[in-house]
Amino acid sequence: MSRLGNLGAKLYRGETSYDFVGHRKLWYGITLAFVVVALLGLGLRGLFMGIEFQGGAVFTTPPKASISEAEARDIAQDTADRDARVQELGNGALRVQVTDLDTEQSGETRAALADALGVPTQDINAELVGPSWGDQMTDKALQGIVVFLALVSVYLAIAFEWRMAVAALVALVHDLVITVGVYAIVGFEVTPGTVVGMLTILGYSLYDTVVVFDKVKEKTRALTKQDRYTYSELANLGINATVVRSVNTSVVALLPVGALLFIGSGLLGGGMLKDIALSLFVGLAAGTFSSIVIATPVVVDLKTREPAVREHDRRILARRARAGTREGEPAGADGTAGEGSPAGAPAGDRAPAAPAGAAGPSGHRARGR
């Protein structure tokens, strides 16, 4: 078995782990920093909305255009008196996009580009989109995201509990903000392909989150029937039991998406391929991060507010104190929890070596030696 396989097996069995829940304030800080950077990028640069959302015209020149991108941009801007965006496609053709153009302005811009290239006007492909259709596209995209989030909340509340539904929404909003912020920072155009990619990555993120939640639910199902672990410790065991699986799944998904983004879009040009690939790549990475270090810690923070859970944890910590357990017992030299401690237990919540008759995480009594 490979090293990664051995690590995954040890994490699953709880023999070693990382204290994700115990370090949740650190993860919250990192998450906040990412979100702030994304919001700053969105506020300072804004999103470049495609013509499908704003209305306008797109002109595509024949392959191997004889003018540069800068020249095509100047021609379009001077003729239409609007900002223009020019992109070179994989076959050497130029894609010139000008927003908020009417039919007359579109014809003039097309003719000016044809004159500069020395080709007939009909050789310049032109697509005109009205602003009213763009408004409809924007409304439909927002409705799709809202409906998706509402259905996700209902499903999670029924399948798990409302606290997990809230935590999943927090993770999904994080993924959306990060993806939108990256789009603003790099200046990519927002198209219907972008919306499709975002809805797809929300599904991937939800999948990872549900896998973790299912293991957390399994670990904490018999919480009150055992007197060795706190809720946060059992939840942390659930994360560690699934972390390798989540990372492996995401890496396998990121490889082909990365190929589409960095190789396919470079060879074939931009367009729909690039729009979908960027949102998928950023969203998959953000979704993996949020499902591991955001979703479950938020559940723990909400769950430990329950009187029954709080009383259970208080009783365990008091029993440990009476047993002479030192608060904040350091981890072993290899970074794992000490013997008899739940792997990855937060500082102050580590369990001493289980005495004879103490209950294990499954609620069964351990036999005395």
Nearest to 20 by CA among 295, 223, 247, 310: 295
- Cβ(235)–Cβ(217) under 8 Å? no
Task: Give the confidence band of 16 by pLDDT, cuts at 50, 70, 90.
Answer: low
* Same domain flag for 187 and 85: no
What are the DSSP calls for 323-369, one per residue? TTPPTTPPP-TTSSPPTTSPTTPPTT-PPPPPPTT-B-TTSPBPPP-
Lowest model confidence (mean pLDDT) among 8-12, 136-140, 159-163, 348-352: 348-352
Q: Is the pLDDT of residue 132 over 80?
A: no
pLDDT value of position 207: 84
Residue 96 lies in a domain: yes
Task: Give the confidence band of 246 by pLDDT, cuts at 50, 70, 90.
Answer: confident
pLDDT value of position 12: 57
Q: Is the pLDDT of residue 147 over 50?
A: yes
Q: pTM of the prediction?
A: 0.72
Q: What span, in angstroms and rounded, lies between the C-alpha atoms of 131 and 101?
A: 9
Q: Is the pLDDT of residue 56 over 70?
A: yes
Q: What span, in angstroms and rounded, lies between the C-alpha atoms of 137 and 133?
A: 6
Domain that includes residue 145, residue range: 3-49+133-303
Residue 180 lies in a domain: yes
Tokens of 61: 């020149």
* Same domain flag for 243 and 112: no
For residue 127, CA distances in Å to 59, 60, 141, 192, 369 come to 7, 9, 21, 16, 80
Residue 350 lies in a domain: no
* Same domain flag for 99 and 160: no
- Cβ(113)–Cβ(86) under 8 Å? no
CA dihedral 356, 362, 364, 365 (to 10 degrees): 10
* Same domain flag for 245 and 284: yes
What does the pLDDT average to over 325-345?
42
* Same domain flag for 197 and 263: yes
Task: Provide the domain count of the chain.
Answer: 2
Residue 39 lies in a domain: yes
Residue 237 lies in a domain: yes
* Same domain flag for 185 and 81: no
Helices (H), the chain: 3-13, 24-45, 51-54, 69-80, 103-117, 131-159, 162-186, 192-220, 231-259, 265-268, 272-293, 295-303, 307-322
Among the three residues 278, 303, 328, which one is the final residue of a domain in this structure?
Answer: 303
* Residue with more model confidence, 139 or 230: 230
* Same domain flag for 203 and 114: no
**Chain centroid offset of residue 190 CA:** 18
* Same domain flag for 69 and 178: no
Provide φ and ψ at 65, rounded to 5°.
-65, 145
What does the pLDDT average to over 160-169?
90
Residue 271 lies in a domain: yes
Task: Give the confidence band of 64 by pLDDT, cuts at 50, 70, 90.
Answer: confident
Average pLDDT along the chain: 77
